[in-house]
Amino acid sequence: MRCSVLDQSPIAQGSTGAGALHNSVDLAKHTDRLGYHRYWVAEHHGTPMLACASPEALIPAIACATPRIRVGSGGVMLPHYSPLKVAETFSMLAGLFVGRVDLAVGRAPGTDPMTTFALQRDKRHAAPDDFPEQLTELVAYVRDGLPAGHRFARLATLPGLPYRPEPWLLGSSPQSGIWAAQMGLPYAFADFITPTGADIVARYRTEFTPSSTLSTPYVIVAAWVLCADTDEEARALASSARMAFTMMLQGEMIPVPPVETALRFFEQYGSATEPITRRRRWILGSPQTVRREMEALAQEYAADEVMIVTITYDHEARKRSYELIARELDL
């Protein structure tokens, strides 16, 4: 099984964003040594729980610290940005870190409506919902160039040429799968957001149109996974992320709490929060348990690759989780 990492740069209670970013670099070095295939960093804004607001700033730090693993965004939230600016930035990264850079983009804002508005350059009115046009322009820059008669054609001579990033589309809805299929893009589906995406991915495969960079469909399924020596230990460690997730869905963003705090929270409010936590798939347990559930997930999606996102209060527990999985799967 090909396995990769999606890092959301979690901020533990009592720690700092800077500490979380350094932990991301440390985890990338660790997973590179363990044999993981790629390392993507996520984009979130205005939250005390997740530190990375700029994947393009964190990617070079990770790439410089690792000799082998592919690096990339998981993803760039394209509605906030100019397609040309994104294309130029990732072209530079591709030129600096040859053969290692992925440019995965998504439509979601990665934040709340107020912060989304604050990110706009022009605040006189709401930004247009023109993601398909943005995506088409971005992919043209980084993949095939623009037609000779296009008004932006000369801008397709990007700074990192002849090297190019590999474009990806992220998604958790049917529409994202349709766009990925139409444009011949590899598709990363966020099962950790929408754990009912097998039909969406199947449709992507059926409707896939080959492109100049991808002849057959390729699917990553991204899942929330936590591994420990025993099922009981994994459940306890996972309580920190589950509490943070529960609070987020209730409108309150918090740093990742200690395990003891989270366990007390669920002792007090467990029955009331159970319907909320059931909205996500949580793969957690001993190495044998995690392997069984990851293999079942990959089979459910007919996935070419599984990407693991893990949030713990303790950074060493997160590193240990990836280590146990790598050992169990013989990466």
Residue from 13, 23, 7 nearest 260 by CA: 13
- Say which CATH number the domain at 188 has: 3.20.20.30
Query: Residue 76 gets which letter from DSSP?
Result: E
Hey, is 278 helix, strand or coil?
coil
At 114, which amino acid appears?
Answer: M
The answer to whether residue 288 is domain-embedded is no
Query: Residue 211 gets which letter from DSSP?
Result: -
The answer to whether residue 193 is domain-embedded is yes
Rounded (5°) CA angle 31-35-38: 70
The 10s digit of each residue's pLDDT in 28-50 is: 999 999 999 999 999 999 999 99
Residues 29-49, buried b or exposed e (16+ Cβ, 10 A)? bbbbebebbbbbbbbbbebeb
pLDDT for res 134: 92
Could you write out the DSSP letters of every residue in 87-124?
HHHHHHHHHHSTT-EEEEEESS-SS-HHHHHHH-S--S
For residues 164-186, give the mean pLDDT: 96
The continuous run of DSSP H or E covering 159 comes out as: none
The answer to whether residue 115 is domain-embedded is yes
The answer to whether residue 243 is domain-embedded is no
pLDDT for res 120: 76
A 10 A CB-CB count for 182 gives 15
The 10s digit of each residue's pLDDT in 283-315 is: 999 999 999 999 999 999 999 999 999 999 999
pLDDT at 281 over 70: yes
pLDDT for res 327: 97
CA distance 234 to 211: 42
pLDDT for res 302: 97
Residue from 16, 19, 47, 10 nearest 248 by CA: 47
Query: Phi/psi at 123 (nearest 5 deg)?
Result: -100, 20
The band of 110, judged by pLDDT with boundaries at 50, 70 and 90, is low
The answer to whether residue 12 is domain-embedded is yes
The answer to whether residue 91 is domain-embedded is yes
- For residues 319 and 118, the model is more confident at 319
What does R_g of the chain's alpha carbons equal in angstroms? Answer: 20
Burial class (CB in 10 A: 0-12, 13-18, 19+), 17: middle
Structural domain of 20: 3-220+308-323
The 10s digit of each residue's pLDDT in 66-84 is: 999 999 999 899 988 999 9
Which residue in the block uniquely carries the two structure tokens 């990617």?
59
The answer to whether residue 239 is domain-embedded is no
The answer to whether residue 245 is domain-embedded is no
> What token pair was written down for 148?
């000779």
- Average pLDDT, rounded, for the chain: 93
> What token pair was written down for 190?
């966020």
The number of domains in the chain is: 1
